[in-house]
Amino acid sequence: MSIAHGIKRLGVLGAGQMGTGIAFVSALYAKVPVLLHDKSAHQVSKGISLIDKLLAKDVSKGRLQPSDAEAVRARIQTVDAIEAMRDVDMVVEAVTENLDLKRAIFREFAAKIRPDAILATNTSSISITKIAGAVIPEGVSAAGEEGKAASGRVVGLHFFNPVPVMKLVELISAVQTSQDTLDRSRAFAEACGKEVATSQDVPGFVSNALLMPFINEAIMCLEKGVATRDDIDKTFRLGMAHPMGPLQLGEFIGLDTCLFIQQTLYKGTSDSKYRPSVLLERMVDAQYLGKKSGRGFYEYNN
């Protein structure tokens, strides 16, 4: 029997590619009003512009009627503070992969958003359990009823980039996450048109525990001169039918993001197989991050 998600209004914190994409599919498929917030007004403007372009494209391709596109756009509002999200039923955080930043945001969520709202993070590698610990009020026992109720509403909802295209959401339970939170979060992701895969709360979850070492090993092959950039990527495009090779994929993700996740895997497991490539570190030092910076192993005309 399906579980009704009960999300009548959604908050999204972060108007970058991920947050904007989550807002878009929530308004389009789940048909819920969305409040979108980012501390950068410029980023909000870029996010809304992207949503408008996505809707215009869907109309031009005949996938949406103009009236339906207008209805989707009307469901998405921008707000200038987390306090404006006070009455949402769920909020999804989609900011930079930084544990201290995310813990600070979730403490703010706990203080400013209604106490029964689901607090979801779109992290692709950071421990959900560590984030959940941040919402327990100071002086309250984590094992007591109040502490369990607070942390039990935190969950990992890992959407994939680009959100409007990728079909999967990874659902991750913290040690503290309640079954009701998991059931409603799964139902909401499905209402957004996604398939759901579950993972334990381990470094990188399923997706990045497998993907990042693959990309890292490809960079090591380049670093050691095993093969050229083009031949490494060609091997996987033509030999394994991958849509793009691992070097190019890493650059679409962002080499800085790849490095952060690889460092998280290495730190979280102490396993040498997760040690980041020296070349990957140097590329990030040089700010050659891939597509978003215009240069990585490839050059891009942004």
Catalogue the active-site residues: 124, 158, 170, 208
3-state helix/strand/coil string of the chain: CCCCCCCCCEEEECCCHHHHHHHHHHHHHHCCCEEEECCCHHHHHHHHHHHHHHHHHHHHCCCCCHHHHHHHHHHEEECCCHHHHCCCCEEEECCCCCHHHHHHHHHHHHHHCCCCCEEEECCCCCCHHHHHHCCCCCCCCCCCHHHHHHHCCEEEEEECCCCCCCCEEEEEECCCCCHHHHHHHHHHHHHCCCEEEEECCCCCCCHHHHHHHHHHHHHHHHHHCCCCHHHHHHHHHHHCCCCCCHHHHHHHHCHHHHHHHHHHHHHHHCCHHHCCCHHHHHHHHCCCCECCCCECCCECCC
Contact in structure between 100 and 108 (CB atoms under 8 Å):
no
d(CA 154, CA 132): 6
d(CA 237, CA 243): 6
d(CA 17, CA 32): 19
